[in-house]
Amino acid sequence: MDSSPHSSLTGKVKRRPWWVKSLTGWSYVIYEMLFQRMQARHLKNPLPLPPLDNVTCIVTGSTSGIGLETARQLAFSGARVVMAVRNQSVAFDLIKKWQTERYGTTLLSIEVMELNLLSLSSVVKFAKALNSRSKPLQVLINNAGMFSMGEPQKFSKDGYETHLQVNFLAPALLSILLLPSLVKGSPSRIINVNSIMHYMGFVDTDDMNFTLGKEKFNSTKAYSSSKLAQIMFYSVLQKRLPLEAGISVLCVSPGTVHTNVTRDLPKLVQGDYNLIPVFLFSAQEGSRSALHAATDPEIPEHDWPTCAYISHYCRPTRAAKEAHNTRAANEVWEKTLDMIGLPLDVVEKLLQGEEAMYKWGIFIKRFMMILHTISCSFLHHGIVIVNEIGQEFVSHKDNMDISLFAAQSTISMMGGNPSVRLGSIDIHKVAQHYMSTDEADCSFTCPAALAADLSAWQHRRALPLLVV
């Protein structure tokens, strides 16, 4: 364990300019890439695992890269593995292949379940199905993630920026909702595949979605910030879990790994990336920190204010300084629960066997949000949309598609019912249009005619407020 004294920060975080953060962050990434083989020379590849009979593990995103290797090695060591994936046919093909590799030995115990992290309702459905079995769960590995390098900002149908939702919000919802199964399987572990890039992240709880224009969006900021938010959120979760629950929370860094994570890069850059495998870990090497965290009998002493953090060479290490700020971490905790529609005492409720989702509180919450929204619309001169669960979307003149998108996701959440008009625009029609598009395509572009209508409407300097 890093022996340097930790100071638990409690004051306001002073944010360094992005270019300074970015420079420092990339220097960490380059250092990791150049020296990771040397640092991990004490590790075997593959990492030897103990027999894992009677251990149930969920691995999200196990159809590719680090997750695929993690699921394969856990299954080969005897664990019951649930592959939580969005592309089930790929998972079934993998199982066939693995079973052939193991021909003549015992059958692998692997199950495939659908999970699309771009949809919070898919997470809820997955967790309900899993919990309804009343079986113990020992390990949850939140591995699935995305990094759309250089791509423009996109939003999920829930209205959240896609890196934020896939890398952080949806896995956070999954972890919380699976607490009942994890308690049954205790001692159990939640493992989050994090990244050294969290060092360049920053978390502004007022604008985690990058929609207020306070910080200009780019995918590197979104990715690194989602990973920093992840450490902060799970640090608070670890603190709130009583010892008797027997659930440990860990974040791991896999190293710089040769996987499909570069799928969105231009072909030329992908070619360059493929030229440097000497430095990059293979997916098997990259899976070692998650496998170590899942199977090592020793859980490292977690060093509040952060949860345990395991490096790419499987040693406890320190997360970035920002993650040590308890006040900011608590803000992230509260904001996140709000965004995923859970009450602040959700952990306590679930551990006592109560329901987790908002039920009656939603109406009070909505009323409060309407009041808040009216004041916001005076301040921002933008369109403000508040949806059923109190999420608020503020859009500025140059950012209109976000509001429409939010309206669409809201209406889809409400079952497509309300007849809502925004100026001359029938939001319901817009919603219908976007609901008929491919589920997987979460990008949204405001049709030119609608955009023009909206601009004209805004130019009349009304204070538009839409509550759906």
Ligand X SMILES: NC(=O)c1ccc[n+]([C@@H]2O[C@H](COP(=O)([O-])OP(=O)(O)OC[C@H]3O[C@@H](n4cnc5c(N)ncnc54)[C@H](OP(=O)(O)O)[C@@H]3O)[C@@H](O)[C@H]2O)c1
Say how far apart CA 121 and CA 109 lie, in whole Å: 27
Residue 257 or 350: which CB sits closer to ligand X?
257
* H-helix segments, 241-311: 267-274, 283-286, 288-295
- Shortest Cβ distance from residue 100 to ligand X (Å)? 21
Q: Which is nearer to ligand X, 89 or 424 (CB)?
A: 89
Nearest approach, Cβ of 337 to ligand X (angstroms)? 21
Asked if 166 is part of the footprint of ligand X (rule: CB under 6 A), the reply reads: yes
Q: From the list 79, 176, 193, 319, which residue makes contact with ligand X (rule: CB under 6 A)?
A: 193
Which token pair is 333?
């905790």
375 binds ligand X (CB under 6 A): no
Choices 145-153, 177-185, 320-328, 428-436; region in contact with ligand X by CB under 6 A: 145-153
Residue of 64, 131, 181, 211 that binds ligand X (CB under 6 A): 64
Contact between 400 and 446 (Cβ < 8 Å): yes
**By CB under 6 A, is residue 261 in contact with ligand X?**
yes
Residue 384 near residue 377, CB atoms below 8 Å: yes
Residue 144 within binding range of ligand X, rule CB under 6 A: yes
**x/- site string to ligand X, residues 85 to 124, per CB under 6 A?**
-xx---------------------------xxxx------
Q: Does 171 bind ligand X (CB under 6 A)?
A: no
Query: For the window 335-374, what string marks contact with ligand X as x by the rule CB under 6 A?
Result: ----------------------------------------
* Closest C-alpha to 183, from 356, 358, 355, 347: 347
Of the candidates 283, 386, 364, 220, the one whose C-alpha atom is nearest the C-alpha of residue 64 is 283
Binding test (CB under 6 A) with ligand X, winner from 21, 55, 59, 67: 67
Torsions phi, psi for 436 (to 5 deg): -85, -5
The answer to whether 394 and 388 are in contact (CB under 8 A) is no
Regarding 159 and contact with ligand X (CB under 6 A), the answer is no
- Across the beta sheet with 188-193, the strand order is 110-114, 80-85, 56-60, 139-142, 188-193, 247-252, 308-310
Give the rounded distance of the alpha carbon of 405 from its chain centre. 20
CB nearer ligand X, residue 153 or residue 377:
153
Amino acid at 416: G
Count of residues near ligand X by CB under 6 A: 26
Q: Based on the shown chain and the rule CB under 6 A, indicate whether residue 319 belongs to the binding site for ligand X.
A: no
Q: Closest distance between ligand X and the C-beta of residue 258, in Å? A: 7
**Among 18-26, 101-109, 139-147, 340-348, which window interacts with ligand X (CB under 6 A)?**
139-147
Min separation Cβ 272 and ligand X, Å? 15
Minimum CB–partner distance for residue 118 and ligand X (Å) = 4
Q: Where are the alpha helices (DSSP H) in 296-417?
A: 326-339, 346-351, 361-380, 400-413
Instruction: Pick the stretch among 249-257, 336-344, 363-371, 425-433 that binds ligand X (CB under 6 A).
Output: 249-257
Of 22 and 87, nearer to ligand X (C-beta) is 87
Read off the DSSP letter of residue 152: P
- Closest by CA to 324, choosing from 232, 416, 225, 238, is 232
Which range touches ligand X (CB under 6 A), out of 51-59, 96-104, 251-259, 451-459?
251-259
Q: Could you confirm whether 223 is annotated as catalytic?
A: yes
Which of the following is catalytic: 160, 199, 223, 313? 223
In the DSSP assignment, the letter for residue 199 is: G
Among 254, 341, 382, 390, binds ligand X (CB under 6 A): 254
Cis peptide before 17 (omega within 30 of 0): no
Is residue 61 within the footprint of ligand X (CB under 6 A)?
yes
CB nearer to ligand X: pick between 162 and 403: 162
- 52, 74, 83, 145: which one binds ligand X (CB under 6 A): 145
Q: Classify strands 80-85 and 56-60 as parallel, antiparallel or unpaired.
A: parallel
Neighbours of 376 (CB within 10 A): 16
d(CA 260, CA 187) in angstroms, rounded, equals 33
Tell whether residue 55 is a contact of ligand X (CB under 6 A): no
**Minimum distance between the CB of residue 70 and ligand X, rounded to whole angstroms?**
9
Interface with ligand X by CB under 6 A: which range of 42-50, 142-150, 332-340, 404-412?
Answer: 142-150
3-class DSSP assignment, residue 257:
strand
Q: At what angle do helices 288-295 and 65-76 cross, to 10 degrees?
A: 40
* Position 307 contacts ligand X (CB under 6 A): no
Burial of 350 (0-12, 13-18, 19+ CB in 10 A): buried
SS3 at position 112: strand
Q: How far is the CB of 52 from ligand X (least distance, A)?
A: 21
Euclidean distance between CA atoms 307 and 281, whole angstroms = 25
User: Is residue 224 within 8 Å of residue 167, measured between CB atoms?
Assistant: no
Which residues lie near ligand X (CB under 6 A)? 61, 63-67, 86-87, 115-118, 143-147, 166, 193, 195, 254, 256-257, 259-261
Which residues are identified as catalytic?
Answer: 223
